[in-house]
Chain A
Amino acid sequence: MYQKFKTLYLHHFKLVFTLNFALSLYFANLFYLKGFDKVNLYNLAFGFKLLGYATTIAIEKLFFNRRIFYYYNLGISYRKILSIFFALEFSLFLFILLCCWLWISFS
């Protein structure tokens, strides 16, 4: 199953991953410049991340009819594919923020 997910994400999620990752980097940069004590920046970041995920769902919906049986024949539902993608992407975002915070704290 791990191999299946790996192949799916590598082949079909490059575009949405790049968009979401770019957003993560942008906000990591903002946190780096403005500091980690701005509550509004957190709200803005999470708001934009949600918007990014909504855009991802909208983009994937465009391919839904074409790819439905491709995914279903692998025994995977769309919901599961997107849930895991969002979980991984959000974890990566938190990891980047953590790295930034550590960099600022110890430099």
Chain B
Amino acid sequence: MDQLFIDSVQHSFGSKVVLSNVYLKCDVGEIVGVLGRNGSGKSTLLKIIFGAISPNHKHLKIDGQLVEKGFLTQQIAYLPQSFFIPPYIKLKVALALYTNFYRQQLLDLAIIKNQLNTKIAELSGGSRRFVEALLIIYSNAKFVLLDEPFSQLSPQLIEELKIHIKAMLPYKGFIVTDHYYQQIVDISSQIVLINHGCNYAINTNEDLILHGYLPNR
């Protein structure tokens, strides 16, 4: 079936309802772009899918199987907004931990090959972000959640990252969220906007203006 499906997501922080009846579907070979204003609940939605946050209600299925916590299935990998690999870990150790099937593809890359004995903390901020994103993209997980993968990256690295995402597309489904909305529009096969806790399918830039995501000029 190769499908991730989440439905009826309801979550609130205290009395503030963040997500209400949100629905999302991602097939292998598909990139779902999630857009939304600051605080709209994009990251919360990804964390709920991953299993790091327990919502008030959700219905998550991977390949037709009901799942309680996504990460326990090892079918979902998540790139958080901030660095997640401890700084004292060497790149070769991180590579051994997170990759298996696609390790050789990473070992062929200069940024990995030349720095295998380098500690993560010794990489520059952009390189560290790029390497962490690569480790997640080339992990064994079938579904990859990327939370602001393009932030901290130079335009050149952004283009490179997009190439890697597309290279793994035949084997994986991606859910990507970022404030660089043009990058999301460029790579996504479907776009979803989270607004006032609900999700809306987006087909054109006019839809983004209509829902108040882009300014009306």
Contacts and interface: CB of A to CB of B under 8 A. Distances in A.
User: Main SS of chain A's interface residues?
Assistant: helix
A33 interface: no
Interface residues of A, number: 15
A91 interface: no
Contacts, number: 43
Given A67-B86, A72-B50, A11 B93 contact: yes
Interface size class on chain B is: 20 to 34
Contacts of A77: 69, 71-72
Interface in B86-144: 86, 88-89, 93, 96-98, 136, 139
Contact of B86 (A70, A72, A74, A75): A70
Nearest to B89: A11
B55 interface: no
A69 B72 contact: no
A73 interface: yes
Interface of B: 50-52, 69, 71-74, 77-78, 80, 84-86, 88-89, 93, 96-98, 136, 139
